[in-house]
């Protein structure tokens, strides 16, 4: 099968590309390397890597020929980044997705898996959260991802194109580098291992549903294998942990005792997060397998190796 992975040199994308290559797919990776890293996929000699932007419609048209499945992960990511630069956020996430959909339609691609975000829900009213929860995005990033999801499902209704939108909760794992724009696990782990102070925003009793990247990868692949399936689905672990307890777990695993300081809550942060993943289980057999403890152990080991290379 010939597949296109946008953002395939990024954190989640590179893990997906490796899994697709392992199962024998012919993979085209499209990435502008703004937030992706070529060394994430440097060992995958069988892929066709193209440095480019999803907003370049002529480029999309030139590579869409005979593509069977598109995995769309390219994005401008992060609530803080979107607040600082909402125009870029909308251009990449909203218009970039529309360009990709239009190219897919013209070239009669049959299946597309689109990365959405739990951020579209805004502050949660009920827990665990189901797909039919009201959507009240509270950052430009969440708004652009909601648009991308909605326009994708409109294309699924209008054309002969199956589109599955996966609403990721808090994804973590290998290839996730330090991100000052809000991904808490890499921020904590990189700072922890480098002897830096850890900042906990608010009282630390806010909760998050963390899902390992390997489970996210399997969700993408399984969603692409069901004929006639379109819709939006939560992708998470179905469990939650407070930020304070996350820090305690990281200290226990790493053996490092950090200096911790509380800071004011950030704009756009929700208080609690916990997903209901029943719909994804029923629709395409999604079932997370990596525990947070095991996932954090592997991620800490990966970050240690990454820091050695940086040094």
Give the residue numbers annotated as catalytic, written as ranges.
141
Token couple for 291: 């525990």
Least Cα distance to 120 among 284, 292, 13, 273 occurs for 273
Question: Can you tell me the distance from the alpha carbon of 101 to that of 256, in angstroms, rounded to the nearest whole number?
Answer: 47
Q: Report the alpha-carbon distance of residue 214 to residue 15 in Å, rounded.
A: 7
DSSP 190: H
Kindly list the distances between the CA atom of residue 224 and the CA atoms of 44, 72, 92, 166, 285, in Å, as whole numbers in the listed order: 22, 12, 23, 11, 12
Do 277 and 166 contact (CB within 8 A), yes or no?
Answer: no
Q: What is the distance between the alpha carbons of residues 225 and 210, in angstroms, rounded to a whole number?
A: 25
Instruction: Give the CA distances from residue 223 to residues 151, 158, 285, in Å, rounded to whole numbers and listed in that order.
Output: 18, 20, 8
Helix (H) or strand (E) holding 212: strand 210-212
């Amino acid at each position: 099968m010939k597949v296109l992975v946008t953002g395939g040199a990024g954190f989640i994308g590179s893990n997906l590309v490796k899994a697709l290559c392992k199962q024998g797919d012919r993979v085209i990776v499209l990435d502008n390397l703004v937030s992706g890293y070529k060394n994430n996929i440097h060992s995958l000699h069988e892929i066709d890597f193209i440095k480019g932007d999803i907003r370049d419609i002529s480029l999309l048209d030139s590579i869409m020929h005979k593509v069977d499945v598109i995995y769309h992960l390219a994005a401008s990511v992060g609530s803080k980044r979107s607040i600082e630069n909402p125009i870029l956020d909308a251009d990449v996430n909203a218009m970039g997705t529309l360009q990709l959909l239009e190219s897919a339609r013209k070239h009669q691609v049959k299946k597309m898996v689109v990365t959405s975000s739990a951020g579209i829900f805004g502050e949660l009213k009920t827990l665990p959260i189901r797909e039919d929860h009201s959507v009240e995005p509270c950052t430009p990033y969440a708004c652009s991802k909601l648009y991308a999801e909605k326009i994708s499902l409109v294309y699924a209704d209008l054309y002969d194109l199956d589109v599955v939108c996966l609403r990721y909760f808090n994804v973590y794992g290998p290839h996730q580098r330090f991100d000052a724009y809000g991904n808490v696990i890499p921020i904590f782990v990189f700072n922890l291992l480098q002897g830096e102070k850890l900042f906990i925003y608010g009282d630390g009793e806010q909760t998050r549903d963390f899902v390992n990247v390997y489970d996210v990868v399997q969700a993408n692949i399984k969603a692409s294998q069901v004929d006639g399936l379109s819709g939006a689905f939560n992708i998470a672990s179905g469990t939650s942990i407070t930020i304070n307890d996350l820090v305690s777990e990281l200290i226990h695993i790493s053996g490092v005792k950090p200096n911790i300081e509380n800071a004011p809550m950030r704009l756009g942060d929700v208080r609690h997060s916990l997903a209901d993943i029943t719909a994804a289980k029923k629709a395409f057999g999604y079932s997370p397998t990596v525990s947070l403890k095991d996932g954090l152990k592997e991620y800490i080991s990966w970050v240690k190796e990454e820091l050695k290379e940086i040094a």
